[in-house]
Structure 1
């Protein structure tokens, strides 16, 4: 799925607001639905094995429903107002176990960049800044993390 928009680029190369209509200055076309991992794979910056490992981790993250819920749940309550949360299903629990095992296999120093880029969808430069790393060091660390993840998944 593609959702293309034009964004302004400032003098330091950072993307700004979405442009509608007449354009001023430099702009870039961005696909908002493309994940950072898919972006790296499309440009050959991670290989197919690493991309597959990352997609498996992201799928388990989504299946385990570990992302924060930011919207109102409009489904009618089935607990008669008691306020008890429904028990998570077996598939959700299994996905959480797989996710925890995979992140644990990556190791303490690599799990943070894996989660930020693969699961949270944070760009590599933003992850580097948040983790206090030098510019352009994140790709190497992410590559190592994805290799460990692929080994954990026993990908060929």
Structure 2
């Protein structure tokens, strides 16, 4: 995985949009990174080789491995599932491809036979919905004292815990 500055999401977030600012807002970029991070921590990436992590042990037998997953990994998987359900089936695919599997937008457009540059618009729309689901607020994610803070959905105060 290419996490960091080399990821397709980070490259897109650093590019200028037509209005002079960044193409993706800070809230949209944070939402995409959060989804990708949960996907990675949940161990949801496809594997190329066999997984021997949960091999049969003579003393305990085989339990299928699900009881051995850390609670945090299960929580991450649930958060990814909940976020993708909130975004909806129309937009969740582009989020999975770009934010989680780190595929380039042009590659996704070609595979899905979309018109050129339509994937950027679809991704921006999906990230906007995802940012709203996570409770990211542009004023809180912008700059200043509240930069990077999550806006609480149960009241109108900025949450005290940073993202």
Per the normalisation by structure 1, the TM-score is: 0.72
Does the 8 Å contact 2:13/2:23 carry over to 1?
A: yes
| Larger Rg belongs to | 1
2:133 corresponds to 1:152: yes
Alignment partners' CA distance in 1, 2:24 and 2:48? 31
Question: Which structure shows the higher strand fraction?
Answer: 1
Of 68, 74, 79 in structure 1, the residue corresponding to residue 46 of structure 2 is 68
**What is residue 131 of structure 1 aligned with on the other side?**
112
Greater shift after overlay, 134-143 or 61-70? 61-70
Alignment partners' CA distance in 1, 2:27 and 2:120? 15
Greater shift after overlay, 141-150 or 32-41? 32-41
1:57-88 C-alpha deviation (Å, 9 max, x unpaired): 00110111111122455769572284443322
2:69 corresponds to 1:97: no
Alignment partners' CA distance in 1, 2:13 and 2:5? 15
Gaps of 5+ in 2: 16-21, 138-163
Q: Report runs of 4+ in structure 1 exceeding 6 Å deviation.
A: none
Alignment size in residue pairs: 126
Of 90, 95, 107 in structure 2, the residue corresponding to residue 109 of structure 1 is 90
Alignment of 1:1-156 (within 5 A): 34-43=6-15, 44-71=22-49, 77=55, 79-80=57-58, 82-86=61-65, 87=67, 88-156=69-137
1:73-125 C-alpha deviation (Å, 9 max, x unpaired): 57695722844433222111111110001011111110111111111111001
Alignment partners' CA distance in 2, 1:128 and 1:117? 11
Does the 8 Å contact 2:5/2:11 carry over to 1?
A: no
Change (3 A) 1:102 1:74: closer
